A and B are shown apart, each in its own frame.
Chain A
Amino acid sequence: MSVALFFLAQLAIPLFGLPIARHPEIRALSPAARCSALFGAGALFLTLFGLILSLYRIPWTVASFLLLLVAVTLLARRWPASPGVMLRPRQALEVSRRVRIAFVIVILAALGYLAFFTLTGRAVSPDFAFIWGLKGIRFAEHGGIDPSFLSWPYAVHTHVNYPPLFTTTLAWSAMIAGDMPWMAAPLVSAIWIAATIPLLVDLFRRAVSDRIALAASAFWTAAICISLVATTATATAEAPLLHYGAVGCAALLVRTREDRPDLLALLALTGLLMTKLEGAILFVSLLAGAILASLLLRRLRLRAFLPMILVPLLPLAVWWLYEFLNRIPMTDPAREKALAIRFDYIATIARTEIAGLDAGTFGLSWVIPLLLIAVFFRSWRRLLPALAGAAGMWLFLTVYFLHATGDPSVLIGWTFPRLMQSALSLVIVAAVVAPGRESPAAVL
């Protein structure tokens, strides 16, 4: 029973996305993509509501969350009524039966693969027991973010300063279920990945033909599901990070209006910041790439970028305020010392990093999109957000490994394959968008 309630609560997360449901950009999406967008936005609003309730020491209950949801939905009911930002009318997918069947087969096989290895325990990260699940159940039982636990000196191994998005979604479900279903809860990762697919299809359709959008989304799903299993990364914040990273990157790459911010990109960038610290690397490098691309293409509009830079910082500022007021360490004492760099590690780092790009497919998941990017490299300026995002993550990790104490290969083996999944995801998104629209004589 508690397992069913736990997953019902997860599936109710899109309800918390209601405040943006009437926004023209959301209404322009297909029904499936709209549900996906509301899921991602819902997790964000849920986290923000949880933070506000905890800030005012109001206990987390279904009623307190719903009260905030109703209030914010009422406040947000007046989005611009004109279809000024309607991107294009919703149209049914124009693809052959063969493409649809192939898409469904790959999606079901990939998600089934992920679910099988998650439920049988082979893909579940130990961090679920050490960090995410632990904080989730403690927050659920405390009825809010637990400042006494997070400020306790013997809880620093739980990365107490990490923003609380994934933990809050777990705590919400555990609160409804009355417990943490330790064996089944890791399946939430599959929900996050499944929720990414319809959005990717919709976003890709703005840049390439429907059939490529479907086929490439299937490839993204297969590569990411396999990688999550190979890196034993389910039940951690990797899946939300992959969701927000892929959606944010795709939204930035296919922006059709240069004079205003893109809501999906803005929400995804906020999600990156609120999921875990590594999300900040993607946030900075994706935006840096997008701004650079706009500069090179001579169409930079600060009016479009400023909200996408500043708005995501607001929820993060609320989290920092909460940390500050409750004396929760704002840095991670368990981390390596900054600027204590060991350049003699470079050879080990290079060797171990290459091995870490296996992604469960002998590196094929990387090679295929990289080859396609190479073929269509003339469009590199447009791809800069994705390329900068992927390169930024790699650069950050490499510099981080130069700070390792002791043999860096242990640290690399543990963190690199997991975190480079976000880079892999961005490389795939870039490869999809790279060719642009095809001729009508396409095959399949």
Chain B
Amino acid sequence: MPIRPYLARIWISAALLLLAVSSAKIVTTRRVPPLSLPVTPLERVHFEWSEQWRFLEEARPLVPPGSTYTVRAAGGDSEMSLFMLSLNLFRDHLPIPSSYYRQPLPDRGNSARFVLSFHCLPLDDPIATLVARLERGCVHQRAGVAP
């Protein structure tokens, strides 16, 4: 049977089929999101990155604009994502990475005035004093380091 006369019907039926299949797939795999706006742009796609975003939002008021800061987190990947996300929220500050793409940069990181430590990673730094312990991490300040 030639299908040419039925093409419009085929396309529309196929479009409805796609919508039905994808909806069923999402329901059966329990990927239906809650009917609310997410708290961060990453909340429903990557939990750790979303937590990092929230930590940075909490920490931002504690770091004066124009100050240098670095970030610390357990593991190179985690520290990299924290650093990348901080560039969104600390736009009035001067970022200094402690590592980049898993390459440690301790000399650079140690020159920052503020240290944002995700999950309050212990700092082996005698001149760093705790500014605040937040829900998702700590903010430290290094005495004697230029702002």
Question: Which of B58-66, B93-101, B118-126, B130-138 is near enough to bind chain A?
Answer: B93-101
Known: A138-B91, A157-B101, A186-B41. A122 touches B19 (CB 8 A): no
Count contacts on B: residues with CB < 8 A to the other chain. Answer: 48
Interface members, chain B 12-26 (any A CB < 8 Å): 12, 14-19, 21-23, 25
B33–A121 contact, CB under 8 A? Answer: yes
Q: How far is the CB of A158 from chain B (nearest CB, A)?
A: 8
Complex contacts, A400 vs chain B, CB 8 Å = none
Stretch at the interface among A33-41, A214-222, A289-297: A214-222
Complexed CA–CA distance, A441 and B2 (Å): 12
Which A residues form the contact surface with B (CB < 8 A)?
99, 102-103, 106, 109-110, 113, 117, 119-122, 124-126, 128-130, 133-134, 137-138, 141, 154-155, 157, 182-183, 186, 208-209, 211-212, 214-216, 218-219, 221-223, 226, 229-230, 232, 235, 334, 360-362, 364-365, 368, 372, 375, 432, 435, 438-439, 441-444
Kindly state the separation between the CA atoms of A443 and B95 in the bound complex, as whole angstroms: 64
By the criterion CB–CB under 8 Å, are B7 and A230 in contact?
Answer: no
Quick check: B8 and A211 within 8 Å, CB to CB?
yes
B 40-77 binary contact with A (CB < 8 Å = 1; else 0): 11111110010001000000000000000000000000
**Contact residues in A for B16 (Cβ distance below 8 Å):** 106, 222
Least Cβ–Cβ distance between B66 and chain A, in angstroms: 15
Complex CA gap A170/B136 in Å reads 30
Q: A227 → chain B, closest Cβ, in Å?
A: 9
| A120 close to B44 (CB less than 8 A) | yes
- The CA of A212 and the CA of B8, in the complex, are separated in Å by 5
- Contacts A222-B19, A364-B18 known; list 16 others, CB within 8 Å: A117-B33, A120-B35, A121-B44, A129-B85, A134-B84, A137-B88, A138-B87, A154-B95, A183-B41, A211-B8, A218-B11, A222-B18, A232-B45, A365-B18, A375-B3, A444-B9
Judging by beta carbons under 8 Å apart, are B45 and A361 in contact?
Answer: no
**A126 touching B45 in the complex, CB below 8 Å, given contacts A110-B19, A120-B36, A134-B87:** yes
How many inter-chain contacts with C-beta < 8 Å in the A-B complex? 160
Query: Are A442 and B7 in contact (CB-based, < 8 A)?
Result: yes
Q: Which residues of B contact A102 (CB under 8 A)?
A: 12
Q: Does B5 contact A (CB under 8 A)?
A: yes
Interface contact A120-B33, CB-CB below 8 Å: yes
Q: Is the CB of B18 within 8 A of A126?
A: no
Q: Give Cα A56 to B108, complex, Å.
A: 34
Q: Would you call B9 and A106 a contact (CB within 8 A)? A: no
Name the residue on B nearest A214 (C-beta): B8
* CB of A48 to closest CB in B, whole Å: 26
Contact A361 B21 (CB under 8 A): yes
Cβ contacts under 8 Å, A221 to chain B: 15
Q: A117-B33, A137-B88, A226-B19 are in contact. Are A215 and B41 (CB under 8 A)?
A: no
